Amino acid sequence: EAQVTQNPRYLITVTGKKLTVTCSQNMNHEYMSWYRQDPGLGLRQIYYSMNVEVTDKGDVPEGYKVSRKEKRNFPLILESPSPNQTSLYFCASSYSQQITGELFFGEGSRLTVL
Amino acid sequence: QQQVKQSPQSLIVQKGGISIINCAYENTAFDYFPWYQQFPGKGPALLIAIRPDVSEKKEGRFTISFNKSAKQFSLHIMDSQPGDSATYFCAAFDSNYQLIWGAGTKLIIKP
């Protein structure tokens, strides 16, 4: 089944404790992206990757890191989480953003930082 | 900053009625306008999309109307059903191949 898989789905952590949210897609997509969703603010892009070893900042990259060492994986790293990073996070992928804008989303990772 | 303004923020419609969600954009370079549908606990999924060379696109009960001169586009859901209750996002595809998102509309269809 074609899918984007995120883990963990739910996480409660404390300020400053490094964490990684994994994202994997099995559709051989070139493009991958991370979003955060907050009430009233819609979807805001954190980072995106057009292909392996190519990453770029989105609209709200502060406090986050990403890497794209393999085509299928695009982990999101919070080196020192803070309460303002409490949010619902989505990973998404697309065959190529230059051909179609259709994004396939994971089911989300709800993060709470205390 | 490029923006897509979406309204209303929330909408309640009776079963069988027409749901209308509106979006407006500023950048005339936008050339692809998708709508995504998100059910609770799920990620958004593409519902329907339109390019600016057409004024309307219909898929089942869902229709996008596009007004290029006014830089506006809207989603119409005919014969709205409780299963249509979801959050809807409009978006626009910019010249840098990035999606610019509206803030979302929470739609509730009352039985």
**Most B-contacting residue of A46, A91, A105 (CB-CB within 10 A), to test interface:** A105
Instruction: Tell me whether strands A109-113 and A10-13 are parallel, antiparallel or unpaired.
Output: parallel
Position B94 scores a pLDDT of 79
Position A18 scores a pLDDT of 96
Strand, coil or helix: B107: strand
Instruction: Tell me whether strands A31-38 and A87-94 are parallel, antiparallel or unpaired.
Output: antiparallel
Cα gap A56→B38, rounded to integer Å: 26
Q: What is the mean pLDDT of residues A39-48?
A: 92
Using one digit for the tens of pLDDT, what is the confidence trace for B75-89?
A: 999 999 999 999 999
Using one digit for the tens of pLDDT, what is the confidence trace for A8-28?
A: 999 999 999 999 999 999 999
Q: Do B9 and A40 touch (CB under 8 A)?
A: yes
Grade residue A96 by pLDDT with cuts at 50, 70 and 90. Answer: confident
Q: What is the mean pLDDT of residues A25-34?
A: 94
Q: Do A101 and B34 touch (CB under 8 A)?
A: yes
Q: Do A103 and B93 touch (CB under 8 A)?
A: no
B37 neighbors A102 (Cβ within 8 angstroms): no
HSE of A47, CA atoms in CB hemisphere, 13 A: 20
Among chain A residues, CA nearest to B101: A43
Using one digit for the tens of pLDDT, what is the confidence trace for B54-66?
A: 999 999 999 999 9
Position B46 scores a pLDDT of 94
Q: How many CB atoms lie within 10 A of CB A104?
A: 20
Closest CA to B29 of B96, B103, B102: B96
